[in-house]
Structure 1
Amino acid sequence: MNTLAEAIADVEYAFKHLEFAVRLMCYCEQGQLNLHKFDTDTTLLLSHENVGFAPGSFATLESIVPAAQAMVGMAFGASAIVLEAAFCAASRKRKPTSRAPDDELQALIYMIRCAFAHNPAMPAWEARGKDYERLLEVQLGNETVIIDLVALNGRPFEYEHIGGLANWFKIRVAAEALLR
């Protein structure tokens, strides 16, 4: 089991991966990637068995941009899983019926984690049970974000459901403050 310090370090690492994925996506979307150099025959020389990738999978922007966008989603999901794990490392129990601001924040992180944990390639909200079939009200600075878990249950996760991707970084800051 991770200590809280290790869990916070894991959160930092996961959010660095998310930042990298976002930067790479933007780079790809802007057509900055040299496709000729990128989409070449690639072989990893490993100690046990080599792994090779033939050219052709990423020869066009139409093939590379969706892959980069999907990478952002997977990095986002990993950051949610790691952030929720930090609450476990802090021995902070979820209180899904509590309406206290800190518990609302933790419940939201858990719900996002669940959306990605069950299918990272196609995350969907899973608000099961009476404890999670409700509205969440999360305070992020001067803004209150309201998430209707009943309406979202079963729907594909979208960043706009939490007020946009920028709010995820605010959620991280609030969660780390709570954990410290």
Structure 2
Amino acid sequence: MGTQDAELIEDAELSFKLLEFSIRAMCYAELGKIDAALFGQDLQLNLEEENVLYRKGEFSNPDEIVRVSQMNIGAAFAATAISLDCALERHSCENKNIEIIKKLIQSVRNAFSHGIANPTWYVKQHKREILDLSFIHAPAVDLGALNGNTFKYSDIGGLAAWYRAKEFVIATLKTSAGVT
């Protein structure tokens, strides 16, 4: 496996860790386990180029922390689609299932590129098809029917199905590179 391929796989793995971290942070926020007074205090980053100051007041309300932590999950989820898409970009094979997964990932990535806070399915006419995801124990996804709708995790069979898609992609990439 080339260095670039290994880095792309690592990026995908790390993006899923970011997603898990975001989910955990949201759960803690929803449970009121984040000290809003401490979290919302002045924060200064002393950077080599120039310092950045985040003023006291933002994120000092527990409801605001929850709301933004929920949005952070969407951004992290979008990062998983981006990293999987990048990992598959150079991959070519005759495997029908990997082609189906590629189409799903590209469609999810596109949905988030059309609204990170409120992702919407945007599927071009020539890409509207039904993707049979039974090989990862997920339902068929009708991209044509989803076009124009707000993205929901259930559209792709739920978050667990997305993790199975990731495992399928990573295993395929490692196998094609001769890594076990």
- TM-score, length-normalised on structure 1? 0.87
Task: Specify which structure has the higher proportion of helix.
Answer: 2
1:110 aligns with 2:110: no
The match for 2:167 is 173
State the identity as a percent. Answer: 36
Answer whether contact 2:122 2:147 (CA < 8 A) is retained: yes
- Unaligned segments of structure 1, at least 5 residues: none
Q: Deviations over 1:97-155 (max 9, x none)?
A: x9x3232122111111111234323221121032x1121111244x2411111111121
More divergent stretch after superposition (116-125 vs 51-60): 116-125
Q: Is this contact kept in 2: 1:101–1:139, CA < 8 A?
A: no
CA–CA distance in 2 between the matches of 1:140 and 1:15? 21
The structure 2 residue matched to 1:134, chosen from 129, 133, 136, is: 129
1:56 alignment partner in structure 2: 57
5+ residue gaps, structure 2, are 175-180
Moved over 4 A (4+): none
Of residues 156, 161, 165, the one that matches 1:162 is 156
Q: Is the 8 A contact 2:97 2:135 kept in 1?
A: no
Report the TM-score, using the length of structure 2 for normalisation.
Answer: 0.87
Question: Counterpart of 2:134 in structure 1: which amino acid?
Answer: Q
Paired residue for 1:12? 13
CA contact (8 A) 1:140 1:170 kept: no
Task: State the distance in 2 between where 1:29 and 1:78 align.
Answer: 23
- 1:43 alignment partner, SS class: strand
Alignment: residue pair count: 173
Letter in 1 for 2:61: T
Q: Which deviations, in whole Å up to 9, do the C-alpha atoms of 1:47-77 show, x marking residues without a partner?
A: 2322111122212221110100111100000
Q: Is the 8 A contact 1:2 1:89 kept in 2?
A: no
